[in-house]
Amino acid sequence: MTKRLQGKGTVFSYKAPDGRILHRWQATVPVDPEMPNGPLKRISKSGYASKKMAEHDLATALARTTMGVSAVEANTRFSAFAEEWLADLDLAGSTLMGYRKIVRTHLKPFFGNRVMSEIQPSEIRLFYSKLRSSGRKDVKAFGSALSETTVSKIHLVLAAIFESAKDQGLIFNNPAKHRTVKAPKQGRRTRSVTASEEVLTKEQLNGLLTWINSDADDDLYPMWLLIAMTGIRRSEAVALKWSDLNFSASTLAIRRAADVSASRAVKSTKTYKARSVMIDAKTLEVLSEYQKLRALLGPEFVANDAFIFATLNNELRIPNDVTARWSRLVAKAQLSLCDLPSITLKGLRHTHATLLLQSGINPKIVQERLGHSDISTTLNIYTHVTPTIQTEALDRFTKWME
């Protein structure tokens, strides 16, 4: 649905992330309002509830350009525009939640209700400096420095907001992209794990799992064991259904994951692809016994579409609750197991991958089990194991050649 006004602009409708039909106008105007015959740029503004409102503002914008002023009034406040920008995004729930957190926690408190066109590059430099020195807002380390990777994420969001304001004619230039603003270095998408970070030895892992099963008698032991022996993500583990488990073929199908941005909802896996992983005999036996115990609660607890690790209400578990439970377990285990380091639930996944690589398993198999999009992701994360693999491979090759 489009309509051109005097051949100078367009109004069209679009579907917002919440399902509403909204309208946007778009026009081509001079870069500098005082130079009508100079370079042109395309501007737009969205979020209109009706086409008539969009047409009215488009006509106003075009009229302003004929008077040698900016197409859109430049008194828009940062906070209001940031919210408008967020409302227009069509992203995955978890990604949008991260953007909202950045705007709420860092951008709004600093830029507040400042007029967009008045924000200068020098202020952005100061903002980044404060983030690097005392930008953390979480309770555990409030006021300490933010990592360069986190500052980079904040920069990308801030620059995108200003770029959108530029596209809509609110500002002439993006202050976050000014030559005097040194953009934070973007960290690699996958952070490498060091040899001692978030990784257990096989002895430590076996000791911890035995303690959880015997001493703690934790009823989620089958899930902890499954994560340790397959490397699946926590959100994938809680979203498993009995129909995903094939006892006869010893395989587990990873088809979905819990959505951390929506209560008790599921979504596609991180790579938007399903995968199948083999399960060892011991883990399969533990899951079989667990199924029998769940059946005692009622047939609905072991139905094909029931979640394997559902709550006592037969509902999907919340990933953050599972993480908190794991942290409490490890803290208690450390009181009994003196050589046990602090290990996160994500670290249990790292441990599985590290032990696989150390045992000589082909990295391609590790990639497929973890559900990484490509093998470079796997190799970048587990660089600490690479020297060992290289040495063992060279030894085998040398012996074969001899």
Give residue for tokens 């096989």: 202
**Residue 196 pLDDT:** 44
Residue 202 or residue 363, greater confidence: 202
Mean pLDDT of 389-400: 74
- The reported pLDDT for the residue numbered 345 is 92
Q: How confident is the model at residue 40 (pLDDT cuts 50, 70, 90)?
A: confident
Q: What angle is formed at CA 140 by the lines to CA 134 and CA 144, rounded to 5 degrees? A: 15
DSSP state for residue 16 in the 8-state scheme:
-
pLDDT at 9: 85
Whole-number percent of the chain with pLDDT over 70: 89
User: 69 pLDDT exceeds 80?
Assistant: no
Instruction: Give, as one character, the DSSP assignment of residue 72.
Output: S
Mean pLDDT of 80-109: 87
CA nearest neighbour of 32 among 75, 65, 76, 58 = 65
Average pLDDT of the residues in 35-44 = 79
Residue 7 scores a pLDDT above 50: no
Domains of the chain with bracketed CATH = 1-73 (no CATH), 75-187 (1.10.150.130), 202-396 (1.10.443.10)
| Helix axis angle, 202-214 to 345-358, nearest 10° | 130
- Alpha-carbon distance 369 to 390, whole Å? 21
Whole-number Å distance between alpha carbons of 317 and 217: 19
Calpha distance 269→330 (Å, rounded): 27
Mean pLDDT of 113-142: 88
Residue 102 β-bridge partners = none
Give pTM, 2 decimals.
0.61
In tens, the pLDDT along 217-241 reads 999 999 999 999 999 999 999 999 9
pLDDT in tens, 164-174: 888 777 776 78
Residue 303 has pLDDT above 90, yes or no: yes
pLDDT of 193 > 60? The answer is no
What is the pLDDT of the chain when averaged over all its residues? 85
Residue 116 binned pLDDT confidence (cut-offs 50, 70, 90): confident
Mean of the pLDDT values across residues 205-223? 95
Q: Which of 371, 379, 378 is nearest to 269 (CA)?
A: 371
345-358 vs 221-230: helix axis angle to the nearest 10?
Answer: 40
Question: Which of 116-120, 142-146, 284-288 holds the top average pLDDT?
Answer: 284-288
